[in-house]
């Protein structure tokens, strides 16, 4: 699998259920990379999306232990939208994706999901910001885990934040 994430200089990713910063250029990059694909997301992250709906044009596998009846509306449709599927276990994810370590799909957060599914990832698309922000959620520090930086874009600046699109690979 591939992880896709935006981190600050301390590898922080979120605060109080939301992202650290709004960067249209990074949202565009996220859309380009994930459109037409399947993403695994934790329930907290999906609850933080606009209108609490899965992003269009992609399938979102929403990981949650909540009972399925709490997650469907009166018509039996998933509350997160028709392009979302509820999964309660790794086995349920694998029933859809096949063996996770062989899948080409995305792990898209949040912190608990990155932590659990990084062992299945061989690549991480990491938008790295130069600034730091107050935060309560973090991504594993890949360089400290021996992951290799294989590419890095030129810096972009938006809303006074400078960032680069980086690709890390498991050695």
Distance of closest approach, residue 102 Cβ to ligand NAP, in angstroms: 19
Beta bridge partners of 59: 38
Distance of closest approach, residue 63 Cβ to ligand NAP, in angstroms: 4
Q: Please tell me whether residue 118 binds ligand NAP under the rule CB under 6 A.
A: no
Per-residue binding letters, 16-35, with ligand NAP (x by CB under 6 A): -xxx----------------
CA dist 1 to 66, 104, 125, 142, 170, Å? 25, 5, 11, 15, 11
For residues 76 and 71, what is the distance between their CA atoms, to the nearest angstrom?
A: 9
Q: Please tell me whether residue 137 binds ligand NAP under the rule CB under 6 A.
A: yes
Q: What is the secondary structure of the chain as a DSSP string? A: -EEEEEE-TT-EEEETTEES---HHHHHHHHHHHTTSEEEEEHHHHHTSGGG-PPTTSEEEEE--S-GGGGB-TTS-BTT-TTEEEE-SHHHHHHHHSSGGG---EE---HHHHHHHGGG-SEEEEEEESS----SEE---GGGGT-EEEEEPPPEEETTEEEEEEEEE--
Tell me whether residue 22 or residue 155 sits nearer to ligand NAP (CB atom).
22
The one among 14, 61, 78, 163 contacting ligand NAP by CB under 6 A = 14
Distance of closest approach, residue 21 Cβ to ligand NAP, in angstroms: 9
Which 138-157 residues touch ligand NAP, going by CB under 6 A?
none
Which 93-112 residues touch ligand NAP, going by CB under 6 A?
108-112
Q: Please tell me whether residue 66 binds ligand NAP under the rule CB under 6 A.
A: yes
Distance of closest approach, residue 6 Cβ to ligand NAP, in angstroms: 4
The one among 1, 6, 39, 107 contacting ligand NAP by CB under 6 A = 6
Residues that bind ligand NAP (CB under 6 A): 5-6, 13-15, 17-19, 42-45, 48, 63-66, 88-89, 108-113, 116, 137
């Amino acid at each position: 699998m591939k992880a896709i994430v935006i981190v600050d200089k301390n590898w922080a990713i979120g605060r109080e259920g939301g992202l650290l910063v709004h960067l249209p250029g990074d949202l565009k990059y996220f859309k380009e990379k994930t459109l037409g694909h399947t993403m695994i997301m934790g329930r907290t992250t999906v609850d933080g999306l606009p209108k609490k709906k899965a992003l269009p044009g992609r399938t979102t596998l929403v990981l949650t232990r909540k009972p399925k009846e709490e997650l469907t509306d009166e018509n039996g449709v998933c509350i997160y939208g028709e392009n979302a599927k509820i999964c309660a276990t790794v086995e349920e994810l694998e029933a859809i994706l096949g063996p996770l370590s062989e899948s080409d799909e995305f792990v898209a957060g949040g912190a608990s999901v990155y932590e659990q599914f990084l062992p299945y990832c061989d690549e991480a698309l990491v938008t790295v910001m130069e600034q730091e922000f107050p935060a309560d959620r973090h991504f594993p520090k890949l360089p400290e885990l021996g992951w290799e930086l294989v590419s890095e874009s030129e810096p972009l600046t938006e809303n006074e934040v400078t960032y680069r699109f980086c690709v890390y690979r498991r050695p």
